[in-house]
Amino acid sequence: MDDPQATSRSLIDPAITARMAVQPLVARFPMEGTVSGMHRSPHRGSSVEFAEYRQYVPGDDLRRLDWRVLGRTDRYYLKEFEAETNLRCYFVIDCSGSMKFSSHEVTKLDYAIKLIAHLAYQVIGQGDAAGLVSVGPRIITEIPPKRSPSHLQLILDQLQQVKAKGETGLSDTLHELAEKAKRRALVLVFSDCFTDLEPLINSFQHLRFQKHDVGLFHILDPQEMSFDFDRPIRFADLESSFSMVTEPSMVREAYLEQFRQFQSGLQKGCHECNGDYRSVMTHQPAGQVLGDFLVDRAKALSIR
């Protein structure tokens, strides 16, 4: 009998985790965790990180009074310090039929699973909470974020079982998640986003309105972007029973234009709502994608 743990652990590539270990996954915005951690909190706390000066009012803790400022200015000011808390991370994976497409060995779904598995490993490994939401026409499974190592196993097991099927209900799911998640969290979406653009952007905006940090891994196959077919083909839709025969050379130009417009619209929409847009191709090395993601996040945080 297969050891489920062994199977799950096959999702994790030690080389990738080793590469990711040098840089933790951080949130770009202050998070609300349940315990102290390494992520900024919107509230003031007792960390060593100086935040700001505040004028003394009767009742404040005198231990926080800055005596040097008093000596120089004869005025009473208190030092405020950053509060640090842990990260709650939701991994949202699109399990619609279009994620089943592949022009080589790795489907978009497999690629998303790999990215999520390693990010979940990183999040839980750094003491933060990770959860999983798999989305088809509606939410298929939902695993709330937790910090324990056993929770990672649960997530990995669930990832092993997801199947791509049906249409996409991503926008509705994100709206639902925006309401469900009580505290600020990092929501990372792994999808090809082959859905109506406006509702999707709206869902991102909803998440941002709820003060969540939104990241989108826009997963695409190289052939979807090149459309390099050379003879008449019957294209069968992966999400429905629709099919059509067309001469690729006749429609290539227009197809690429449509795709380009969609992609730029999606990117612009993410940018406008301060989302983190990343376009990845399934033939790119996962380790490099994840490493770049972590580094970019850290850089963005240091700029702030």
Partner 1 sequence: MTFLQPLLLYALPLALLPVIIHLLNRLRHRTQAWGAMRFLVAASRSSVNRARLKQFLILLLRTLAVLMLILFLARPLTGGWMGWAFASAPDTVLILLDRSASMDTRLAGTSLTRREQALQRIQQAAEPYQGVSNFVLIESAGATAQSLAQIDRIADHALASSTDTTTDMPSLLQRSVQWLSDNQAGTTEIWIASDLQRSNWYPSDDRWQSTMQQFEALPQTVRFRLLAVNEQTEVDTSLQLADVALLRKQGQERSLRITADFTQSSGTGENLNAIRTINGLSSSVEIPMQGSALRWQDLWSLGSGNEQGWGSLTLAADGNLNNNALYFVFGQDRPNQALVISDQAYDGSVLALASGQATASGWQASEIRRPGPSALSNLEEVSLIIWQGPLAQDQAASTLQSFASEGGVVLCFPPSKSQEQVTPFAGVRWVESEMASTDQSFAIGRWDQETGLLSDTAEGFRLTVDQLEVIQRRRIQHTGKVIAAFADGEPLLIQQIIGQGSIYFMTTLPHPNWSGLDQGTVLLPLIQRARLQGARRLEQTYFWTCGDVSQPELEAGWLPVEEGSEKSITEQAGVYRQGDRLAAVNIPSAEFLPELASGEEIQALFKNVSMQLFEETTTRGETDLQSEVWRVFLGCMLAFLLIESWLMISGPGSTAHLAASQGGLRPQTRSAA
Given the rule CB under 8 A, which residues bind partner 1?
A: 28, 97-101, 108, 192, 194, 215, 220-222, 224-240, 242-247, 249-260, 262-264, 267, 270-271, 274, 276-281, 284, 292-293, 296-297, 299-300
- The span from the CA of 293 to the CA of 217, in Å, is 10
C-alpha closest to that of 221 among 114, 104, 136, 80: 104
Q: Which residues 6+ apart lie within 8 Å of 171 measured at CB?
A: 195, 196, 199, 200, 202, 203
Minimum CB distance to partner 1 smaller for 128 or for 176 = 128
**81 with 46: CB under 8 angstroms?**
yes
Minimum CB–partner distance for residue 245 and partner 1 (Å): 6
Find tokens 């009074």 and name the residue.
65
Minimum CB distance to partner 1 smaller for 139 or for 251 = 251
Minimum CB–partner distance for residue 238 and partner 1 (Å): 5
Minimum CB–partner distance for residue 146 and partner 1 (Å): 25
Minimum CB distance to partner 1 smaller for 83 or for 220 = 220
Secondary structure class of 281 (helix, strand, coil):
strand
**How far out from the chain centre does Cα 58 lie?**
44
Minimum CB–partner distance for residue 54 and partner 1 (Å): 29
**189 with 170: CB under 8 angstroms?**
yes
Minimum CB distance to partner 1 smaller for 8 or for 191 = 191
Q: Which residues 6+ apart lie within 8 Å of 56 measured at CB?
A: 65, 76, 77, 78
Minimum CB–partner distance for residue 243 and partner 1 (Å): 7
Minimum CB distance to partner 1 smaller for 148 or for 226 = 226
